[in-house]
Amino acid sequence: MTDNTLFEPYALGAITLSNRIVMAPLTRNRAGPGFVPGNITAEYYAQRASAGLIISEATQISQQGQGYQDTPGIYTQAQIDGWRKVTAAVHEKGGHIFLQLWHVGRISHVDLQPNGAAPVAPSAIRAETKTFVDNAFVDVSQPRALEIDEIAGIVNDFRQAAANAIKAGFDGVEVHGANGYLLDQFAKDGANVRTDAYGGSVENRARLVLEVTAAVAEEIGAARTGIRISPVSPANGISCSDPQAQFDYIVDQLEALGIAYIHVVEGATGGPRDVTPFDFGSLRRRFSKTYIANNGYGLELATSNLADGKADLIAFGRPFIANPDLAERLKSGAPLAQMNPATLYGGGAAGYTDYPSVAEASAK
């Protein structure tokens, strides 16, 4: 048994979380026809509603924004209706849930794009990574560079998706600006060699992520808007020559927007926290609202960093897959179950909703 602030309530905007444990977004590739989340998705999230805050799996703002098979959308009425079942199930259990909005940019495949078109990106630079299509991991397709007059449409797609999320009953939204997807591609010069207003300088490369975040905050309110960033993660073949300057600037501008939180992947996504030197404390000092720390956290590191004021909330990812009652297990010291990697992506209930809580396991 442990006693620390990880298990204390926390005020996030207009809502009060029951604890400081956040369920991080986890792609599971189980959306139904039309990229609609089904009843099984509602069950999955409701099982994990004892997290202080759930951030949903990444959800595309348009068909163009899709990069993996069977990921859900938030751009049709059927998708909104499907998500409404999810939010109702979570709220019935006393939980809170934000929807993560994404556009994958170049991390896609022609088989997923409208009319088999090339994926879009800041520049026509193919990422050295794979995506999940037709139940297999395959190389991503060669992208094309977005025309400057197309960019406003993408900003508007994020704005509309945020409005749709609120219609679906979400408590707020998280803009996905991390892990080598479209907004991160614009921010980092390894993927962005544009020479117009969206490329070159730190300020220009930050323009799209800031325009999107501002549009979302204007649409649904800054108190219901968060963003995820990953300053130094090499996920999906992304790189940046000046991450400290780039993300100090971005966070300064996010502070000015007054959004509810920044959700920061500290280090390489799902990998080493010390992948490259970076002062995450600088981001913490620049942002006066909520700082959610993510990547490689267990109970000891979470407790220590909260006690030292290095974060306000702690996000846990994969431990939530096999431990729907992760918050209770961390508090009681119960052992954590291990997930089956074979059922991580795609499929049905197996490896999704059939992991038991401690109470369920002991009752068998």
Confidence (pLDDT) at 364? 67
Query: Is 80 exceeded by the pLDDT of residue 1?
Result: no
Q: Which residues contact 201 (CB under 8 A, 6 or more apart)?
A: none
Residue among 219, 282, 220, 272 at smallest CA distance from 250 = 282
Query: Is 90 exceeded by the pLDDT of residue 328?
Result: yes
Confidence label for 2 from pLDDT (cuts 50, 70 and 90): very low
Q: How much is the mean pLDDT over the chain?
A: 96
In this structure, the chain runs to a length of: 364
Confidence label for 361 from pLDDT (cuts 50, 70 and 90): confident
Rg over CA atoms, the chain: 19
Count Cα neighbours of 216 within 13 Å in the Cβ-side half-sphere: 35
pLDDT in tens, 80-101: 999 999 999 999 999 999 999 9
Tell me if the pTM is above 0.85: yes
- 181 assigned to active site: yes
pLDDT in tens, 25-53: 999 999 999 999 999 999 999 999 999 99
Residue among 48, 75, 46 at smallest CA distance from 59 = 75
pLDDT in tens, 113-161: 999 999 999 999 999 999 999 889 999 999 999 999 999 999 999 999 9
* E strands present in 96-233: 97-102, 120-121, 130-133, 136-139, 144-145, 172-177, 225-229
Locate the domains of the chain by residue range. 5-363
Pick the CATH number of 5-363 from 3.40.50.300, 3.40.50.10860, 1.20.810.10, 3.20.20.70: 3.20.20.70
The residue from 10, 44, 45, 181 that is catalytic is: 181
The average pLDDT across 225-253 equals: 98
What residues does 226 pair with on adjacent strands? Answer: 174, 261
**Contact call for residues 289 and 259 (beta carbons, < 8 A):** yes
Give the DSSP H or E segment for 293: strand 290-294
Measured CA to CA, the distance from residue 320 to residue 278 in angstroms comes to 27
